[in-house]
Structure 1
Amino acid sequence: MSGEGAPQVVTDGTGLRAVLVAASWHTEIMDGLVAGARRAFERTGVTDVTEIRVPGSMELPVVASRAAQAGFDLVVALGVVVRGGTPHFEYVCQGVTAGLTDVAVRTGVPVGFGVLTVDTVEQARARAGLPGSSEDKGAEAVEAAVATVVALRAL
């Protein structure tokens, strides 16, 4: 299981301003990821959350960049890319990962990476925080971003 060994992250994010950027493909999975992210925002005390939907995962980096430049404390990017029969999967996964990493490094604003890159829809369901899922990657992305803001403030 990919989540094996994951830390339990509980951080107080009271007063933080966040942007949740979510792709629109694979509605059932995205709804699960967004719901998990909302639960994690509530658990961490982050109440100022702006939600933005974009067409697909390739659009996540540009919106994350604009949000980081606008003064938000953290960005959480959620999406799902399911492998198909062409190299498109690799291009999208590489582009989204590099783009979101660049946003975080260039701006210093933590970006929670909640983009599922999977071989099958069943694998995505298992990670989407849906009833019966073994993992909740939407929540994990929020927890990681909030914890990173707190870590950066300690520097």
Structure 2
Amino acid sequence: MSGAGAPTLDLDGRGLAVTVVAASWHDVVMDGLVAGAHRALEKAGVERVTLVRVPGSFELPVVALRAAQAGADAVVALGVVIRGGTPHFDFVCQAATQGLTEVALRTGTPVGFGVLTCDDEAQALDRAGLEGSREDKGAEAAEAAVATVLALRTL
């Protein structure tokens, strides 16, 4: 299971502004990821949370960039791409991953990576933080974003 060895984080996100940018494909999975991110941000004490929906995972980087430029302390990028019978999967996954990495490096704003790249819908559902899911990647991405803001503040 890919969640093995994950750290337990005790985060104080009071005063932070976090933008959650979420794709719209695969409603059930995305609703789970968004809910998980919101739960984690609430647990960390983050009160200023903005949710922005985009069409798909390919569009996450440009909106994440704008959120960072607009003053978000962190961005949580959520999406799901499920492998199909064409190379489209590879192109979208690569573009989203590289684009979100570039946003973080260019702006210095942490970007929590919650883009599921799955072979099938069952894998996505198992990572979506829904009842019966084994993992909550929306919560993990939000925790990572807040933890990175706090780490940067120690430098």
Q: Counterpart amino acid of 2:32?
A: G
| AA of the residue aligned to 1:43 | K
Opposite residue 153 of structure 1, the aligned amino acid is: R
Q: Tell me what 2:18 maps to.
A: 18
The alignment's C-alpha RMSD in Å is 0.5
Could you list the per-position Cα deviations for residues 67-111 of structure 1 after superposition, in whole angstroms to 9, with x for gaps in the alignment?
001111000000000000000000000000000000001100000
Unaligned ranges ≥5, structure 1: none
Q: What secondary structure does 1:102 align onto?
A: helix
Q: Does 1:150 align with 2:150?
A: yes
What is the CA–CA distance in structure 1 between the aligned matches of 2:13 and 2:105, rounded to whole Å?
Answer: 21
Which residue number corresponds to residue 100 of structure 1? Answer: 100
Matched, 1:128 2:155: no
Q: Counterpart of 2:33 in 1: which secondary structure?
A: helix
| C-alpha distance in structure 2 between counterparts of 1:5 and 1:83, whole Å | 26
Q: Provide the C-alpha distance between the structure 2 equivalents of 1:140 and 1:84, rounded to a whole number of angstroms.
A: 26
Q: What SS does the aligned partner of 1:64 have?
A: helix
Residue 49 (structure 1) aligns with: 49
Alignment-mate amino acid for residue 72 of structure 2 = F
Q: Identity of paired residues, percent?
A: 71
Q: Shift of residue 133 of structure 1?
A: 0.3
Matched, 1:113 2:99: no
The runs of 4+ residues in structure 1 deviating greater than 3 Å are none
SS for the counterpart of 1:90 is helix
Residue segments in structure 2 that go unaligned for 5+ positions in a row: none
Is the Cα contact below 8 Å between 1:10 and 1:143 reproduced in 2?
Answer: no
